[in-house]
């Protein structure tokens, strides 16, 4: 069952830090991008090219810039696609501790990419935000 209530989404977000590192890559060659889809966490098409979120090793072997490595945090609440406020709460909690985030919403879960160096602090901030919401 999906959760749509803002408070319940935040109280139940249960963030989990995944193993591995990821890199955002942009590819204008559609054939090359298509060949990488099976290795990508996510693929988004924009006017400027195809964005692929690739494992760092795959990005490196393909010659992409791997300077900014990211870690993946999955929010394990089954958030409703029409739910309001979860993304704002996550961004707010991370803003308070000066951590950038990139959110990818999928059908069942929201996935947060944060700079590798900030991953543990990001987890602390999200767990804290969840705990505060659970107390209310």
Q: Are residues 96 and 131 in the same domain?
A: yes
> How confident is the model at residue 11, as a pLDDT?
87
- Judged against a pLDDT cut of 90, whether residue 65 lies above it is answered with yes
Tokens linked to 120: 């543990």
Residue entry with tokens 């990508």: 40
> How confident is the model at residue 78, as a pLDDT?
84
Q: Are residues 17 and 52 in the same domain?
A: no
Rounded Cα gap, residues 61 and 92, in angstroms: 35
Burial class (CB in 10 A: 0-12, 13-18, 19+), 61: exposed
Q: What is the pLDDT of residues 67-120, one digit of tens each?
A: 999 999 999 998 878 888 889 999 999 999 999 999 999 998 999 999 999 999
Q: Are residues 90 and 134 in the same domain?
A: yes
Q: Are residues 76 and 131 in the same domain?
A: yes
CATH number at residue 84: 3.30.2130.10
Region 48-52 average pLDDT: 97
- Count of structural domains within the chain: 2
Q: Which of 45, 68, 91 is the last residue of a domain?
A: 68
Can you give the residue range of the structural domain that contains 28? 22-68
pTM of the complete model: 0.93
Region 26-48 average pLDDT: 97
């Amino acid at each position: 069952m999906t959760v749509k209530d803002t408070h319940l989404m935040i109280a139940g977000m249960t963030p989990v830090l995944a193993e591995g590192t990821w890199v955002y890559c942009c590819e204008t060659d559609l054939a090359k991008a298509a060949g990488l889809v099976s290795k990508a966490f996510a693929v988004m098409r924009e006017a400027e090219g195809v964005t692929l979120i690739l494992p760092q090793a795959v990005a490196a072997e393909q010659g992409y810039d791997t300077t900014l490595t990211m870690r993946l945090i999955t929010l394990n609440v089954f958030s409703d696609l029409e739910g309001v406020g979860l993304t704002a709460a996550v961004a707010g909690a991370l803003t308070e501790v000066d951590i950038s985030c990139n959110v990818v919403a999928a059908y069942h879960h929201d996935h947060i990419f944060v700079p590798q160096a900030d991953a543990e602090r990001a987890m602390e901030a999200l767990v804290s935000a969840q705990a505060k919401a659970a107390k209310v």
